[in-house]
Amino acid sequence: MVTPNDFRTGLLIRYNGEIYEVLSYSRTRTAQRRARVLTRIRNIRTGATIEESFESEIKLETVELERRRGQFLYADDTNYYFMDMETYDQFPIKKETLGDKIYYLTEGVEVEIGYVDQVPMIINPPMFIVLAVVETEPNYRGDTATGGGKPARLSTGLVVDVPFFIKVGDRVRIDTRTNTYVERA
């Protein structure tokens, strides 16, 4: 059991009979009222994201997650296919369930797969991933004193801000936790 005061990003809770992942949270307190925790949570089964407000004293059940190494194989219109690196079993996970994590999946990348009751439910991509720039504005002499940047579309469809010197065809390292440019690879 856990209270909303103990929430952290990535925590799995059982709420209204469904399993949710905590995406973000913030604590608020108004005069003469109990503290509340405002959260953004994602339904693991459907992929739907909702915003919910919890009183800080209520008890919620945590969900135990078994973590195993896996590998992303390929995707079709509705599913993404993975292989468990221990058993070599192949299985699909629905696109809606993965949410924004699909932007970090390239063929052959190793991921951490979370199992709930022996069913694969969630993936965690590597902390850093290298992707190719497929679309960005041309290079130009800009305001480099302020450290500005420009948007770039990467090979998986992800859009991030990159420095002015990055051009189409460059490979860049992206931090998957913050969705930001780290360096040219």
Extents of the domains making up the chain: 4-62, 66-124, 128-184
- CATH number 3.40.50.300 given to 4-62: no
91, 32, 23: which is closest to 52 by C-alpha? 23
Rounded Cα–Cα distance for residues 53 and 40 (Å)? 9
Rounded Cα–Cα distance for residues 107 and 127 (Å)? 16
CATH architecture of 128-184: Beta Barrel (2.40)
Rounded Cα–Cα distance for residues 18 and 114 (Å)? 16
Do 4-62 and 128-184 show the same overall fold? no
Residue-wise pLDDT tens digits, 34-89 = 788 888 988 887 778 889 888 878 888 888 888 899 999 999 988 999 999 988 99
Report the pLDDT averaged over residues 85-110.
Answer: 88
Q: 66-124 sits in which CATH class?
A: mainly beta
Q: Say if CB 153 and CB 170 are below 8 A apart.
A: no
Whole-model pTM: value is 0.74
Q: What is the structure's pLDDT at 23?
A: 85
- The label of the residue with tokens 């490979």 reads 171
The full length of the chain comes to: 185
- Encoding tokens for residue 147? 């450290």
By three-state DSSP, how is residue 164 classified? coil
Half-sphere exposure (CA, 13 Å, Cβ side) for 89?
10
Residue-wise pLDDT tens digits, 136-185 = 888 666 556 666 788 999 999 999 999 888 889 999 999 988 888 999 88
